[in-house]
Structure 1
Amino acid sequence: MPDADRPQELPARLLTDPEMIDACRVRDFARVFRLVKTKAGIYPSMIARRCELTPSRVGEVIAGQRQLLHMDVIERIADGLRIPGHMLGLARRVWETPQALVVTEREAPQEPEPEPQTPAALPGPDVDSILALATRTSLNAATLEAFRSSIEDYWRRDDQHGGEALRPAIVGQLRHVVGLLKENRPPSIQNGLYGIAAELARLTGWTYFDARQYNQARAYFTEALQLAKEIDDRQFMANVLACMSLQGTYQDKPADSLAFVTAAQDQARSAADTTPRVLSMLSMREAFAHATLGNRDSTHQAIGEAHRHFERIRASDPDPSWVAYFDETKLIVDTGIAHGRLGEAATAEPLIADALRREARSNQRGRAFHSFWLARTQLDQGKLDQACDTATQALEPASAVASERVSGHLREFYDQLAPHRQEPVALAFEARLRALLPPVSGSLRP
């Protein structure tokens, strides 16, 4: 149904009004229609059109001259006025759950990579060949720095908007850089290109992971590992393995997650230049893996290691740029999430709340993730009002970013809310959810 024709939601204040709740409970449609008119501005002619009734019949109901008892009519009223089914003693209506919450894990078709074209003496009609020829004689340290700057910009925009729209540009740049590697260049330039290609492959894998397209993500993470191995960049190999470990927690494969992070730590410890910040990040990923497995003591031990490594960080450390995101705020929120995964909600809640107060507003995806985690820990403790308020605040950043992982966190909270759906505060949250993420054009849909 087009947006213009879709029935609009009733205001949350009306759906939570005690008089409206009572009128619906006893199916007093005279009162329901009067309240809808006075508090939502939906007049009898509009009520009739929405509910497939005649205007005269609606007028008779409002005047108390007719009752509406047939189930099909009551269902039309629920659907036409967007009154949640349970308020009228009906089953949950199809429209009550936004499409964003019923999206299932998806995988992109596994298409073979096209065979790279052998460079000709003159460029072919494709842009990559032209770019390769144009840069063949001018590639230098400044060019490498430009590539690195573009990668940092991709990551920044990925945090703000999600990586779905960025992926074609990232993949295009990855293939361009891989093409440049086929030419003979000075070792410093060649090694720099390998590092850039590895970062672009990891970023591509990350965008697929964020979209829950796990097979594609694994393929690009593997490519990133191979590229980093060419220059023996063990810190970066550890970083890629840590990404694969995190993916394991989302795929409900905690044993894989622990194996990947153990391999990551082995790579990091074997590198002479691994910094405390990198080791701290890896210990926190280990904590996630143990928490997913339900290993309480091992989780606490890994959290302790993460904090001990973090305390050793110095401003002069030669941290790689890709680990700069792992600051004190990130350490705090990840600590809270690890406790939350263990079911230690009382410990997790203040940590996640503190991190949210510190977190940059521009990191839309991170704020949405962490807000839903906070809401879940509050609900675990029976704090229904606080949980719904926190989740409601998370809806705006969630609707601003294209991320199936965000949708997944929202679905988990929504499912956890099921026993409380008839409470007014939960009803208000659902109304706001449907307003921001309508069934047909939900902005979280992939």
Structure 2
Amino acid sequence: MPDAHRPQELPSRLLTDPEMIDACRVRDFARVFQLMKVKAGIYPSMIARRCEMTPSRIGEVMAGRAQLRHMDVIERISDGLRIPGHMLGLARRAWETPQALAASERTTPQADEPEKAAPASLPGPDVDSILAMAARTSLGPATLEAFRSSIEDYWRRDDQHGGEALRPAVVGQLRHVIELLKESRPPSIQNGLYGIAAELARLTGWTYFDARQYNQARAYFAEALRLAKEINDRPFMANVLACMSLQATYQDKPADSLALVTAAQDQARSALGKTPRVLSMLSMREAFAHATLGNRDDTHRAIGEAHRYFGEIQRDDDDPSWVYYFNEPKLIVDTGIAHGRLGEAATAEPLIADALQREDRTNQRGRAFHAFWLARTQLDQGKLDQACRTATQALETATAVASERVSGHLREFYGQLAPHAQEPVVLAFEARIRELLPPVSGSLRP
């Protein structure tokens, strides 16, 4: 049943009327109210009630004897009359997004957790005493290999299901390895443990990043850098800096993203263990940063470098295990995304589509990301039906992964559909969202 307390939606014909769009753009509320009366049958008394104003005040505005300039009043008009925020120069209003798609960028309040808090002092349960006993046992290469195998399995499951459920196990293993590092051991074993701890810290940071809990992610990434520095593992330090660069892109800090990936490249190029695959991955991260900044020439240059390095890969290269994911389909899809970030949708679309056909189907999170990127490039070219079909196909994969980043990509695409809210294909997409996500309180209708 309709909610009697919820303001009625405005007719789409009014919200798409050029005169209404122009009146909202310049905040000419005399014209806005007049158009609502003439074209939607919403009279001054109704406008006053919805906007928590007096009818006489509305009459003064319509007669040109008063103007509405205070931001709180403009926000009340947007919310009360259901005029989308962007039409009035406001941020997207809360009622414009269904509850299931409401942004949930979760961060720990600064007062509760300082940004630079080191995860080495992780809170520990009573089983820490048991872990301490385990630390006194002898370790050999087989133990290190078992740790590495478990880390590979964590990454595999992270790709398939997201990292939220994995995090307690990963943090527990990180705590265990940090305890092991307190004992004196042969250098080869000790260095191996430092490398394992660094990778576990990076994985923990990644799970927090994927959950959009950026303060915690940054703390664990910093811990991973510290651990890798203990053994001067410059390629791995470059990898962590590249993760931090990607996070800065998501946080809309493109200048930070570029500075971090530049530092990553400096670390990698000064390392004995650098490989073309590592350099290719870093060049692509540089392309992302430049694209976010709108640096077209630099983006194209970085893309070219990524492909040149990738072409130099040899079968017998001693690539670190953490860069194996950067294969040819990943290179292609990232190239498409970089073009998409620049607004070069026609170039991006076939690249992303080709990569999706070739990607590992067990990587559900990656496939969901890339499908929504494909839908966005199609929408940018005016291919509304195709974009909605692509996004609909991605929904089932997206809802199978516990990832706030996936939800963010869905929200962004969903928001871009607002101008087309009354189109049948968009209504069908919204209906599919309702089927797959928890009940929503809103609608695509502005």
Q: Common fold, TM-score beyond 0.5?
A: yes
2:228 corresponding residue in structure 1: 228
Alignment of 1:307-386 (within 5 A): 307-386=307-386
Q: CA deviation at 1:129?
A: 2.6
Deviations 1:120-160 (A, max 9, x none): xxxx9932332332352321111111111111011001001
2:129 corresponding residue in structure 1: 129
Q: 1:435 to 1:319 in 2, by over 3 A?
A: same
Q: CA deviation at 1:105?
A: 1.6
1:186 corresponding residue in structure 2: 186
Alpha-carbon distance in structure 1 between the residues aligned to 2:268 and 2:254: 21
2:199 corresponding residue in structure 1: 199
Alignment of 1:259-338 (within 5 A): 259-338=259-338
Letter of the 2:395 partner, please give it: L
Q: CA deviation at 1:163?
A: 0.5
Give the RMSD, CA atoms, in angstroms.
Answer: 2.7
Q: 1:440 to 1:337 in 2, by over 3 A?
A: same
8 Å CA contact retained: 2:118, 2:219: no
Deviations 1:185-244 (A, max 9, x none): 000000000000000000000011001111111000000000000000000000000000
8 Å CA contact retained: 2:159, 2:363: yes
Alpha-carbon distance in structure 2 between the residues aligned to 1:107 and 1:276: 36
Alpha-carbon distance in structure 1 between the residues aligned to 2:269 and 2:120: 37
2:102 corresponding residue in structure 1: 102
Deviations 1:391-445 (A, max 9, x none): 000100100001110011001101111111100001100000111012379xxxx
8 Å CA contact retained: 1:372, 1:413: yes
SS at match of 1:361: coil
Q: 1:238 to 1:428 in 2, by over 3 A?
A: same
Q: 1:279 to 1:95 in 2, by over 3 A?
A: same
Write out the 4+ residue segments of structure 1 that deviate beyond 3 Å after TM superposition.
Answer: 89-92, 94-98, 109-117
Letter of the 1:137 partner, please give it: T
Alpha-carbon distance in structure 2 between the residues aligned to 1:114 and 1:357: 39
Q: 1:314 to 1:115 in 2, by over 3 A?
A: closer
Deviations 1:298-332 (A, max 9, x none): 00000000000000001100000000000000000
Equivalenced residues, count: 354
SS at match of 1:126: coil
Report the TM-score, using the length of structure 2 for normalisation.
0.75
Q: 1:114 to 1:436 in 2, by over 3 A?
A: closer
1:36 corresponding residue in structure 2: none
Letter of the 2:101 partner, please give it: L
8 Å CA contact retained: 2:434, 2:440: no
2:252 corresponding residue in structure 1: 252
Structure 1 runs not aligned, ≥5 long: 8-24, 26-70, 72-88, 118-123, 442-446
Deviations 1:348-380 (A, max 9, x none): 000000000011111110011000000000000
Quote the sequence identity (%).
83
1:168 corresponding residue in structure 2: 168
Q: CA deviation at 1:286?
A: 0.1
Report the TM-score, using the length of structure 1 for normalisation.
0.75
Alpha-carbon distance in structure 2 between the residues aligned to 1:429 and 1:152: 36
Alpha-carbon distance in structure 2 between the residues aligned to 1:159 and 1:6: 40
Alpha-carbon distance in structure 1 between the residues aligned to 2:168 and 2:285: 29
Letter of the 1:390 partner, please give it: T
Q: Does 1:411 align with 2:397?
A: no
SS at match of 1:332: helix
Q: 1:169 to 1:125 in 2, by over 3 A?
A: closer
8 Å CA contact retained: 2:119, 2:220: no
1:76 corresponding residue in structure 2: none
Structure 2 runs not aligned, ≥5 long: 4-12, 14-45, 47-80, 85-93, 442-446
Q: CA deviation at 1:275?
A: 0.5
